[in-house]
Amino acid sequence: MGASASKTTSDVEDASPYLVVGLGNPGPKYSDNRHNVGFMAIDAFASHHGLDFKGLQKSCHVARGVVHGSKVLLAKPMTFMNNSGVGIGLGLRLAPRLSLALRAARCARLTGGGVAADEVL
């Protein structure tokens, strides 16, 4: 699809959503913690685009909508940062067609961070 082409309603309905997972630690005790920047960023994105997190689905707070003509699925896993892989897995289960596409994708591993650094992006 070229830069000047626009998506039709059926394109949006049939397309797999973009999955955006914001990581953090659940609960008010951690709300202003540096590890919650993922929650803060996804909350700001949702607010900017008029999306609301409604309820809990598969242990994730979820918001769904259309942003700039593309379906999006926003997920905030209620797992702690130490279990962020579990949280991302929960988000993928909410969008099974997306999960299949990501299994075929290559992932890059960045190393060299300190003890407290996250090593995988």
Written as one letter, the residue type at 41 is A
Confidence (pLDDT) at 102: 45
CATH code for the domain defined by 9-104: 3.40.50.1470
pLDDT of residue 8: 44
pTM exceeds 0.85 = no
Q: Can you give the pLDDT at residue 89?
A: 79
Q: Is 9 helix (H, G, I), strand (E, B) or coil?
A: helix
| Extents of the domains making up the chain | 9-104
Residue 58 pLDDT: 76
- Given this model, what pLDDT does residue 114 score? 53
Give me the pLDDT at residue 50, please: 96
pLDDT averaged per 10 residues, the chain (length 121): 43 71 90 89 94 85 91 89 78 62 45 50 40
Question: In this predicted structure, what is the pLDDT of residue 66?
Answer: 93
Position 4 scores a pLDDT of 39
Active site residues: 35
60 within 8 A of 115, measured Cβ to Cβ: no
Q: Where are the beta strands (DSSP E) in 1-121?
A: 18-21, 56-57, 60-67, 70-77
